[in-house]
Structure 1
Amino acid sequence: MSLLGYGIRRRVGSWLPQRSNSAVVITVVGLGPGDPDLVTGQTLASINGHRTRFLRTSRHPSAHLVPDAESFDAIYESADTFTAVYEAITERLIAAAAEGSVLYAVPGSPLVLERTVQLIRQSGADHRVLPAIGFLDVVWERLGIDPVEESVRLVDGHTFTTSAAGQTGPLLVAHTHAKRILSEMKLAVEAGEETTAIILQGLGTPDERIQEVAWPDLDRSIEADHLTSVYIPALETPVAHELMKSVELIHRLRQDCPWDAEQTHQSLRRHLVEETYEVLDAIDGLEHGGAQAYEHLEEELGDLWFQVLFHSELAGEAGQFTIADVARGIHDKLVSRHPHVFGDAVAADAAAVLENWEHAKVAEKNRTSVMDGIPEGLPALTFAEKVLKKGLRSSPVELSEAQLRQLAQLDHMSEESVARALLSIVELARRHHIDPEGALRIAVKDARDRFKETEGTSPQTNWVLG
């Protein structure tokens, strides 16, 4: 055996599931691209050899070849996401297989873009997958191309923007069964009438249709269904090109612009704060601003995005991280902080979501105090609000008698009255030449430190402001 062959076998064997010693057996077969004549004899024999049969979907021209089968179409109708659909199907198959061998039939080939087959493998359940003619064989024949020679990349339409990011083709996009997916694909590429795509629909069936369309008409030319795929020979600009242009722009500015070349994380700090407040101002203008206000928000978000790119570029130059690491980090963090979406946790309402979020944050950051992680760089009033809010979760807060008397003079504690009281305090500080922002920051830090000193000593510990 050659070293190459040995290496390949070792790599393949590392991810194949280990067969169990149980009687759990799931046989997976493919029903081909659509024409019943393309279903293999081995598949037909396996169908006839099983009493318990399942169909991923009955919406396939060859589904009638699997008689007395339970279809999972109802799960597609009831589940909220495709992930939930595939997990529910897998659980049902494994449960049924515990009582005896079952057959599971899927459209096309079970080895191409079949998430349920991957989940069956990962489960460790004893299974076998029979080879089948898939829709790809018919696609290459109809298009008259060799996919290897043309370097065609197969992409899932559900994840087109991320899976095909930076690509210019050729691409074959499967799972384009809805207008929404075609619309998202179209919006991910900056292309005009000169860029075309080939829509492949119902290949191998009497209703087969192959149509070349201009890119702007991608989501308007047909009624997409479960037998629809799209072939993209070439794109003038890569998928998600606008994001890539932004990254390339930062590179260019750092090289050729004297001002940009001199910037550091610290020198950009002020600009980051300013751009953030300008975004907030733009958001405040949405209530009565109409389309023009949204255009303003779009512009301000772009300015803020530039700051994110700039800091990522500086970090990349220092060999620390890139914008891709930033994107990956927030992706992984959001998955971790949403166990009710991506895990087994349950969150019945927004309050439960926030509780899960705080638990995950504490576990990730290894924090010992609820006060840890509150940025001291926040504006003083925001800083105070966060400290008080987190402190109130553990200990009640009492105002001093003098403060209580002042507040008691107010007949009604409305937002306006509180604002007037705060404004009066600021004016009083100004008259005495005191910086209210700095004074409040010092007081909040002191309150936080005193809270941390008494934290956990007694669940009923009171602490007094002032």
Structure 2
Amino acid sequence: MPSPHTAARIVVVGLGPGSTQHITDEARVAIDRIPHRHLRTSVHPSAHLVPDATAHDDLYETADSFDDVYVEITNRLIEAAREHGEILYAVPGSPLILERTVRYLQERASDDEGIEVDILPAMSFLDVAWARLGIDPVEASVRLVDGHEFATAAAGERGPLLVAHTHANWVLSDIKLAVEGADGADPVVILHALGTDDEQIVHTTWAELDQTIEANHLTSIYIPQLAAPVGQEYVRFHELTRTLREQCPWDIEQTHETLIPFLLEETYEVVDALHALDPDNPATDDDLIEELGDLLFQIEFHATIAEQQGRFTIADVTQGVHDKLVRRHPHVFGPKDGDMANAGDTDTVLSNWDEIKRVEKNRTSVFDGIPRSLPSLAYAQKVGRKASKVGFDWPNVDGAFPKIVEETGELSEAVGQGDNDAATDELGDLLFAVVNVARHLGIDAELALRAASDKFRSRFESVEQLAAQRSIDLRTSNLEILDGLWDEAKLIVSNPPN
């Protein structure tokens, strides 16, 4: 066992791109000298040069994500180094090229955990790739991208790109789908098993990218140029918002406050478009696409104002919501043995969400975080639901119904006394009681009232049509005539003609 005052040491070597002739003498000496050896994976042509090594391939079969694999390998290596004092860790290619475990080890060492990481230089697959492609990566400004992160890491890029970690055909498919504007005839080069006897340099097209060869851990691709950058449409939209803010007189005058009515209006128009969706009619998607775009513009507008003020950018917004969603989905992204790892139903997911949110926000009241700007019915429903979660509620709807009768009586009394302030107060209590009944029945009060309002509107529009057909002036007609038209309209709306 090492002395408690001696740092545990991890010597990292690279096994080169594949052929045994590409491994350095320095790495061979380290392998021979250090008896406690580890391999990230034994699935590499030169892995046999590290005898009696502990491989960590089992994690690739059991972990939920590649990042989980890399974190656990890091933990294992540190534990082994503390046990033995010094260990050797061998990785494919170069330790400094797309080796996340090495990066994690360096981060842990920089946190002064009593760990030293010694990285020996090695030849990577890149050296062979540049030779086979016949290019100087510096002069050509080639960008190296991880295939697992292509959609985000290559955002806004047009090329040239060298994409590694394309170890399976589904990864190639994801890459292909990430570039919506790509021409199927765009050239791409598949680099397979470089520096080995099985080496293949395959010139193909974007359309055939995931259908040309059977990809594995020794596969990468070279993209000379994309017809359209990854994420091009959103980048163009982002730049357009900046341009409008800088050059349009109306846009320049706007503030966060003046934009609030437009934000609300666009939100409601999205809701209308959602209600109008017809699963059997794809054409109804057009309105939703347009309204979502208008709402997205409002979000970009607010972020652009903040960016000009030097406060934050749209990148802060997207990063913030990304990280928040990861934190609040521990059953998806968290450790398997975590307290909230098992969430097999919606109720558990929502309960976990509320608890994580409460801790994050350091909230002292159950009502903290409910926006006061919500529409009144939605606000009342949320307030009632939050109180219910701490036990302040009737056990079922039978307890909520009598409150409607009670509040109706109190409202009638206030109206009878001619007390307008009291009537306003009692009317609010009555509405709140009705919302509580809706909540117990699992009915969204906002949607229920909206549906009732739409029904009334449809019937009254039928009344208007009937009156017009019969030359009846609604404004001068008595209540008996109006009631008769209303009863007819109810039948028409309930039983529309075929």
TM class by shorter chain equals: 0.7 to 0.9
* 1:33 match: 17
* 1:459 match: none
Which residues of structure 1 form unaligned runs of 5+?
1-18, 428-466
Q: Which moved more, 1:250-259 or 1:187-196?
A: 250-259
Bigger Cα Rg = 2
* 2:237 match: 246
The one-letter code matched in structure 2 to 1:226 is H
* 2:464 match: none
Q: 1:169 to 1:414 in 2, by over 3 A?
A: closer
The one-letter code matched in structure 2 to 1:123 is R
Quick check: 2:95–2:119 contact (8 Å CA) kept in 1?
yes
* 2:393 match: 397
Bigger relative contact order (CA 8 A; separation at least 6): 1
CA shift for structure 1 position 260: 4.4
Q: Are positions 1:132 and 2:115 aligned together?
A: no
Q: 1:277 to 1:29 in 2, by over 3 A?
A: same
1:103 to 88, 98, 101: 88
CA shift for structure 1 position 425: 11
* 2:465 match: none
The one-letter code matched in structure 1 to 2:18 is G
- SS of residue matched to 2:83: coil
CA shift for structure 1 position 422: 6.7
CA shift for structure 1 position 358: 3.2
1:97-131 deviation line (CA, Å, top 9, x unaligned): 33323322211011211111122223332332222
Q: 1:99 to 1:155 in 2, by over 3 A?
A: same
Q: 1:289 to 1:382 in 2, by over 3 A?
A: farther
Q: Are positions 1:122 and 2:123 aligned together?
A: no
CA shift for structure 1 position 174: 1.1
Please list, as runs of the form range in 1=range in 2, the aligned pairs for 1:254-333 lying within 5 A after superposition: 254=245, 260-261=251-252, 263-284=254-275, 288-289=279-280, 291-294=282-285, 296-333=287-324
State how far apart, in whole Å, the 1-side matches of 2:11 and 2:254 are: 61
* 2:158 match: 168
The one-letter code matched in structure 1 to 2:291 is E
Which residues of structure 2 form unaligned runs of 5+?
110-114, 395-399, 409-432, 455-498
Q: Are positions 1:374 and 2:370 aligned together?
A: yes
Q: 1:242 to 1:417 in 2, by over 3 A?
A: closer
CA shift for structure 1 position 173: 1.4
Scaled by the length of structure 2, what TM-score is found? 0.71
Q: 1:20 to 1:132 in 2, by over 3 A?
A: farther
- SS of residue matched to 1:98: helix
State how far apart, in whole Å, the 1-side matches of 2:366 and 2:389 are: 9
Please list, as runs of the form range in 1=range in 2, the aligned pairs for 1:44-59 lying within 5 A after superposition: 44-59=28-43
State how far apart, in whole Å, the 2-side matches of 1:111 and 1:261 are: 47
CA shift for structure 1 position 302: 2.2
State how far apart, in whole Å, the 1-side matches of 2:447 and 2:77 are: 65
Q: Which moved more, 1:190-199 or 1:205-214?
A: 190-199
State how far apart, in whole Å, the 1-side matches of 2:452 and 2:100 are: 62
1:311-349 deviation line (CA, Å, top 9, x unaligned): 222333444333222222223333444456357653422
2:217 to 203, 226, 247: 226
CA shift for structure 1 position 415: 6.3
* 1:148 match: 138
Q: Are positions 1:386 and 2:377 aligned together?
A: no
State how far apart, in whole Å, the 2-side matches of 1:158 and 1:256 are: 39
Aligned residue pairs total: 407
CA shift for structure 1 position 140: 1.3
State how far apart, in whole Å, the 1-side matches of 2:362 and 2:129 are: 53
CA shift for structure 1 position 77: 0.9
Scaled by the length of structure 1, what TM-score is found? 0.76
Q: Are positions 1:67 and 2:83 aligned together?
A: no
Q: Are positions 1:348 and 2:348 aligned together?
A: no
